[in-house]
Amino acid sequence: MSIEKQVDSGRRGLLVATCAAGGVAGLATAGALVSTFQPSERAKAAGAPVEADISDLKPGEMKVFEWRGKPVWILKRTPEMMASLAKTEDKVADPESKKPYTMDMPEYCDKQSRARKEHSDVLITVGICSHLGCSPSSKFAAGAQPSLPDDWAGGFLCPCHGSTFDLAGRVYKNKPAPQNLDVPRHMYLSDTKILIGKDEKGEA
């Protein structure tokens, strides 16, 4: 009888161990499934429109938001910055943005300011250089500076290969970058709230 009890006890122990292992494996599999679904959800979120609040943005300042994994710059331009766009008109390679980079410039944007006419002082652009995908740096101060011309009117400088862009995101002539910075589709929910990636016609 004692031998049978020992055998039964051994079988029970084996059964418990097997069930426990199966439970752990099941949990591990469930964890793997959950983590497999997560990137897909994140990918969806990355492509969704993004709401930007610019209520605290002062003239001459810029805020950065993320949309589809890319930086989107929102620059509130001063009257002096706006005036500089006429001066750079003949110095940029594509003043009317006829050659898009990854997206057409929205038809409701003015050619020179590259912004909605009712908010022409606000530039909304994707901060990715059209050469090799680096992110340019802001160089808003006018005048001679390292790596910039003496008549610099303010704008952006790509640190990777020296491409320069004016305060409308238009690339200067004879630079490595072949196209202007992208202007995403967007709409104003109010004077201080902007929806990036969606406009009156739908999502970008």
End-to-end CA distance of the chain: 78
pLDDT at 29: 35
Is residue 101 within 8 A of residue 183, CB to CB? The reply is no
pLDDT at residue number 137: 96
Q: Which residues of 118-134 are buried (b: 16+ CB within 10 A; e: fewer)?
A: ebbebbbbbbbbbbeeb
Tell me the residue length of the chain.
Answer: 204
Read off the pTM. 0.77
CA distances from 35 to 31, 39, 40, 136, 139 (A): 6, 7, 9, 34, 42
Q: Where are the chain's structural domains?
A: 1-38, 45-203
CATH number for the segment(s) 45-203: 2.102.10.10
pLDDT of 42 reads 56
**Cα–Cα dist 88/193, whole Å:** 29
Indicate which residues carry an active-site annotation. 161
Structural contact between residues 172 and 100, judged by C-beta atoms closer than 8 angstroms: no
Amino acid residing at 82: M
Q: Over its length of 204 residues, how does the chain's per-residue pLDDT go in tens digits?
A: 544 444 444 444 444 444 444 444 433 333 333 333 333 345 445 589 999 999 999 999 999 999 999 999 999 999 999 999 999 999 999 999 999 999 999 999 999 999 999 999 999 999 999 999 899 999 999 999 999 999 999 999 999 999 999 999 999 999 999 999 999 999 999 999 999 999 999 887
**Integer CA distances (angstroms), 85 to 9, 31, 98, 101, in order:** 87, 54, 17, 20
pLDDT at 35: 32
